[in-house]
Chains A and B, each alone.
Chain A
C-alpha cells in the first residue's frame, strides 16, 4: 500500500531545524580555510565622469592590507559575451575595474583586500579618488523628456514600446464616462535581511564561489564568460539564501571582484557588501510614472483603455519589465493601447523586485478602476466582475484557467465587503477614526522553464533527490521533498532533497514564481522514471518500493531533463486573485493603519498550504510597505541615494501587521504543467498597494496617486 498523499499537506519545513538552531549556512559563512582575505569595496562619489587620480599609498601600507585593486592594476578580464534571461536584452553589464569611466554614484572604483574585515574597511577609508566630473543625468524629471522605446523585440522577451487593439483614442472620446490620471511608483529596494556576500577561492585553474544567489548555474556561466574559462572550471555553491526577492537574480560587480581579487592575491577572498552599498549595486524596482485613461459605458463596461509608463534605467543597460502586460489581458476591452518608455539615467541598473512589472502596473490600473467605479457610482467589485475577460484578448488564446470572479466572490464574503458604505468618509471606528475598504485585482503569469533533477534510490530504502535550484525562503527544500516522496511512494523521512550547487543537474532561475512548476516537474519526472527502474530490477515482486530497494545490489541513479510542453502555444496561463484591504486613518495626523487584508487567489494546486500561506502573508506585508512606507530617495542633483539604510528606508515592522488572510480557491488546471501549480510568490504582492490606496480614498475622500501614502499627503 502506498503512503497517504503528502502533496497538498501542510508539512513543516524540512529545513526548519537547521534554521532555528543556526546550523543553516549562508554565503558569507563558509570557511574556505585560514588564509581567507576580506575585501571591502570603495565606491564612486560622483554619478558620471572619469577617475582623475586614485591615491592608494596610505591604504597599501595600512596594517593587514594585502592588496588594493583599481582600474590601473586590476587584471584585464576577457568579459566574453554572456546574456541570461535575467540580463537586460539591450546593453552590457558593468565591467568592473576595467577602465576609468564612472557611470553612476556607488559604482565600485577600488577593492581593498586585507587579513580582516576591519583592516579592509580601514584600508578602504584611506583610498583617495579624484574625478573629472561630467554632466550626469540624475534628475528623473529631465531624463523623462529623453525617454526612448525599449529596443528589444517582443519575440526576444522584450517589452514593446507600443501595442494597440481597436482604437482606444476614438473609443475614449466617445465614452460616456472617462477617467484619466497619473500614478507614480518611487524606486524601491528589495532589502533582504541577509547582506549580499560572495566568497571566491581558486585552486589552480578552477574557481569555487559561495554566493548569495537565486541561480547558481548562471553565476557559473557568467563567471566563466567574464574570466574566459570553461564552465567546468567554475563551481558555485548556495544552499541557503537569506531572502532576495529578485536582488540576487544576477551576479553583481562584487561577485566578479571577489573572484578577481582571489586570483590576484592567490588566496580566498570574501566580500560582504554593506547595507549602504546594496542600494548602489544590487538593483531596485525602478521609479515609474504611469498614465491611465479609461472609458466606459454607463453600465460599467470598458470601451477604452490606454496605459502608458515611463521608468528609469541605467545608461549602460536597458532594464525593462512587464509593466503593461497585465493591462492587455486582465479585462475584456475592445480598444486598448499601451505605450512604454524607458529613461536612461546615470544610475545603476534596476532589476526585478518581487512581481516586477505587475506590481507597479496594476497599482496604476487598479487605482484607475477604482476611480472609474466612483465616477460610475458603481461597486468596485461589481465593476471588475462585469469586465472579467472570457479569453486573453491580447494573445487571442483561451485561459488555461481563470478564477478572478471566484476570487472576488470568496474574498468579498470573507472580508465582509457588504458592510461597506460606498460613500467616502462615511465609515468610522469606535475611536472616531476614518475607516475605508478597498479592493483590487491581481494577476501574474505562469511560466515553466526547462529543468533537470537527479534521483538516487539507495539500497537502504531511502532517496536523495537533487537539482541546482535555490531556496531563498519560500520552501523549495520542503515542497520538492513532498513531490519526490509522493511520486516515489516513499514516506517523507526517507527522502532528502538537495539544491544550490552547480554540480547538481541544471535548474532555471529561482524567480518569477517558476520554481515549483519547473523544478517540481523535473523532480516528478525523474522520480517516476527512478521508481519504474527500481521495480524493473526487483528480484521478488513487491508493491513496496522500500522492500524493492532493499533487494537491490546497487542503487538506482537517474537524471531526467524536463522540457515544458507546448501548452503556452495553446493557452494563456496566469494566476488571478482579488485583494481586499481595510484602512484606518487618523484624519488629524494623516497616519494610515492596515488592520486587515484578505487575499483570495486562484493559483492552481497548492503543494504545501503552510509554506504557501506564509509566503502569501509575506507578499501582502511587502505590499503594505509598498503602499505606505517604501521609497528609495535619490538626490536628483548627485544621483546619491539619501536614505541608504534601514533607518531611512522603512520596511514594515511587526507593528504594521494585524490580521492577514490568504485564501487559495480550489483550482484544477490540467494545462499549466503536470503538477497543476501556478506559483504564489509574486501574485501575493500584486494589487495590495492599489487595494490600500483605494481604501484610503474610501476612508478619506483623498486620492493619493503617488506612493508611498505618507502622512503629509493626507493632511
Chain B
C-alpha cells in the first residue's frame, strides 16, 4: 500500500509515493537518488546511514518517513552551503579522516549535530557523540582530530 509522503529534505519539499513501511534510508537512496546516505547493516548497528532530523542524528535504516513528515531532514548532500564545504567537511578532507569514505557521511552529520549543540566539545564528548558510528579504515584518530579542528575554526570564525 503506497502512501504519498511530503518530506523536507535539505530545505526542499519532496513528494514521494512509497509503501508506508519503506525505510527513510531506502526512500533517500532509491526514490530521491540521494546516495550520499550510506547503507551498512540495516539493523541500526553501524551508524553509516545517519541523517539529521530537525538537527538530531537519526539512523535512517530504522526510521519510517511517514513518521517524520514535515520535519527537516538533512543528508550529506545538504551539508555544504552553496558549494562551500562545512568546516567539518573541510577538516575531514584535509586531515584524511575519510579513507574509503563510506562511513564518512554518517559521521559528518553526527558531528554536525554535536557541534551545533556543543560548539567546543572535549575529546571525550566527541568520542561519546560518535560512539555509534563504526569505521573500519581510519582507526578513528583522524576523525576525532578533524572534529576538533573544525570546532576550533568555527569558534575562531565567530
B-binding residues in A (CB < 8 A): 12-13, 15-26, 28-29, 31, 116-118, 191-195, 240-243, 245, 272, 274-275, 472-475, 610-611, 613-615, 617-622, 645-647, 651-655, 657, 660
Taking a contact as CB atoms under 8 Å apart, the answer to whether B94 and A16 are in contact is yes
- Bound-state Cα–Cα, A472 to B98, Å: 11
- Bound-state Cα–Cα, A492 to B22, Å: 45
- Bound-state Cα–Cα, A16 to B85, Å: 11
Chain B residues, Cβ within 8 Å of A116: 30
Contact of A193 among B40, B85, B127 (CB under 8 A): B40
Nearest neighbor of B36 in chain A, beta-carbon distance: A22
Chain B residues, Cβ within 8 Å of A28: 35, 39
Can you name 8 A-B pairs with beta carbons within 8 Å? A12-B95, A20-B98, A22-B36, A23-B36, A243-B136, A618-B137, A622-B136, A645-B41
> Nearest Cβ in chain A — how far from B134, in angstroms?
6
- Bound-state Cα–Cα, A194 to B48, Å: 9
Taking a contact as CB atoms under 8 Å apart, the answer to whether B45 and A647 are in contact is yes
Chain A residues, Cβ within 8 Å of B102: 26, 192-194, 242-243
- Interface 9-residue window, one of B52-60, B62-70, B74-82, B114-122: B74-82
Taking a contact as CB atoms under 8 Å apart, the answer to whether B40 and A194 are in contact is yes
Known contacts being A19-B101, A194-B100, A195-B40, is A646 close to B45, with CB within 8 Å? yes
Contact of B131 among A26, A275, A655 (CB under 8 A): A655
Assess whether B71 is interfacial by the CB under 8 Å rule: no
Taking a contact as CB atoms under 8 Å apart, the answer to whether A20 and B139 are in contact is no
- Bound-state Cα–Cα, A694 to B56, Å: 43
Chain A residues, Cβ within 8 Å of B133: 654
Taking a contact as CB atoms under 8 Å apart, the answer to whether A21 and B85 are in contact is yes
Top 5 A-B pairs, shortest CB-CB distance: A22-B36, A242-B102, A19-B101, A16-B93, A473-B100
Assess whether B151 is interfacial by the CB under 8 Å rule: no
Besides the known contacts A194-B38, A652-B139, 6 further A-B residue pairs in the complex with CB atoms under 8 A apart: A193-B40, A193-B103, A614-B137, A647-B45, A653-B140, A654-B144
The number of chain B residues touching the other chain, given as a range, is: 35 or more
- Bound-state Cα–Cα, A240 to B105, Å: 15
Taking a contact as CB atoms under 8 Å apart, the answer to whether B139 and A617 are in contact is yes
Taking a contact as CB atoms under 8 Å apart, the answer to whether B96 and A614 are in contact is yes
- Bound-state Cα–Cα, A222 to B103, Å: 30
Nearest neighbor of A30 in chain B, beta-carbon distance: B35
Chain B residues, Cβ within 8 Å of A621: 139-140
Taking a contact as CB atoms under 8 Å apart, the answer to whether B34 and A16 are in contact is no
Assess whether B9 is interfacial by the CB under 8 Å rule: no
Taking a contact as CB atoms under 8 Å apart, the answer to whether B77 and A21 are in contact is yes
Taking a contact as CB atoms under 8 Å apart, the answer to whether A117 and B30 are in contact is yes
Chain A residues, Cβ within 8 Å of B22: 118
Number of A-B contacts (CB under 8 A): 175
- Bound-state Cα–Cα, A654 to B137, Å: 12
- Bound-state Cα–Cα, A126 to B114, Å: 43
Taking a contact as CB atoms under 8 Å apart, the answer to whether A610 and B100 are in contact is no
Nearest neighbor of A26 in chain B, beta-carbon distance: B102
Chain B residues, Cβ within 8 Å of A22: 34-37, 75-77, 105
Taking a contact as CB atoms under 8 Å apart, the answer to whether A17 and B93 are in contact is yes
- Bound-state Cα–Cα, A118 to B43, Å: 15
Taking a contact as CB atoms under 8 Å apart, the answer to whether A16 and B140 are in contact is no
Nearest neighbor of B39 in chain A, beta-carbon distance: A195
- Bound-state Cα–Cα, A677 to B54, Å: 48
For residues 81 through 129 of chain B, which have their beta carbon under 8 Å from a beta carbon of chain A?
A: 85, 88-90, 92-96, 98-105, 108, 127
Known contacts being A473-B99, A646-B46, is A21 close to B139, with CB within 8 Å? no
Known contacts being A20-B108, A647-B45, is A618 close to B80, with CB within 8 Å? no
Taking a contact as CB atoms under 8 Å apart, the answer to whether B96 and A12 are in contact is yes
Taking a contact as CB atoms under 8 Å apart, the answer to whether B138 and A617 are in contact is yes
Contact of A13 among B21, B38, B96, B131 (CB under 8 A): B96
- Bound-state Cα–Cα, A9 to B69, Å: 48
Assess whether B33 is interfacial by the CB under 8 Å rule: yes
Chain B residues, Cβ within 8 Å of A18: 101
- Bound-state Cα–Cα, A15 to B21, Å: 36
Taking a contact as CB atoms under 8 Å apart, the answer to whether B131 and A653 are in contact is yes
Taking a contact as CB atoms under 8 Å apart, the answer to whether B130 and A654 are in contact is yes
> Nearest Cβ in chain B — how far from A68, in angstroms?
21
Nearest neighbor of A620 in chain B, beta-carbon distance: B139
Chain A residues, Cβ within 8 Å of B136: 191-193, 243, 245, 618, 622, 651
Taking a contact as CB atoms under 8 Å apart, the answer to whether A21 and B80 are in contact is yes
Taking a contact as CB atoms under 8 Å apart, the answer to whether B127 and A654 are in contact is yes
> Nearest Cβ in chain A — how far from B147, in angstroms?
11
Taking a contact as CB atoms under 8 Å apart, the answer to whether B98 and A13 are in contact is yes
In this complex, the member of A13, A20, A29, A116 whose beta carbon has the largest number of chain B beta carbons within 10 angstroms is: A20
Taking a contact as CB atoms under 8 Å apart, the answer to whether B105 and A118 are in contact is no
- Bound-state Cα–Cα, A238 to B100, Å: 13
- Bound-state Cα–Cα, A620 to B56, Å: 32
> Nearest Cβ in chain B — how far from A651, in angstroms?
6
Taking a contact as CB atoms under 8 Å apart, the answer to whether A618 and B96 are in contact is no
> Nearest Cβ in chain A — how far from B144, in angstroms?
7
Taking a contact as CB atoms under 8 Å apart, the answer to whether A193 and B134 are in contact is yes
- Bound-state Cα–Cα, A619 to B92, Å: 19
Nearest neighbor of B94 in chain A, beta-carbon distance: A12
> Nearest Cβ in chain B — how far from A328, in angstroms?
31
Chain A residues, Cβ within 8 Å of B19: 118
Nearest neighbor of A478 in chain B, beta-carbon distance: B96
Nearest neighbor of A617 in chain B, beta-carbon distance: B139
- Bound-state Cα–Cα, A240 to B100, Å: 7
Known contacts being A19-B98, A193-B103, A654-B144, is A645 close to B40, with CB within 8 Å? no
Contact of B142 among A17, A26, A475, A617 (CB under 8 A): A617
Nearest neighbor of B22 in chain A, beta-carbon distance: A118
Chain A residues, Cβ within 8 Å of B127: 654-655
Nearest neighbor of B96 in chain A, beta-carbon distance: A614
> Nearest Cβ in chain B — how far from A37, in angstroms?
13
- Bound-state Cα–Cα, A272 to B79, Å: 27
Contact of B138 among A192, A614, A646 (CB under 8 A): A614
For residues 3 through 46 of chain B, which have their beta carbon under 8 Å from a beta carbon of chain A?
A: 19, 21-22, 26, 29-30, 33-43, 45-46
Contact of A618 among B39, B41, B139, B144 (CB under 8 A): B139
Taking a contact as CB atoms under 8 Å apart, the answer to whether B134 and A117 are in contact is no
Chain A residues, Cβ within 8 Å of B80: 21
> Nearest Cβ in chain A — how far from B70, in angstroms?
24
Chain B residues, Cβ within 8 Å of A646: 41, 43, 45-46, 134
Taking a contact as CB atoms under 8 Å apart, the answer to whether A474 and B99 are in contact is yes
Taking a contact as CB atoms under 8 Å apart, the answer to whether A654 and B99 are in contact is no
Contact of A20 among B45, B46, B89, B130 (CB under 8 A): B89
Assess whether B143 is interfacial by the CB under 8 Å rule: yes
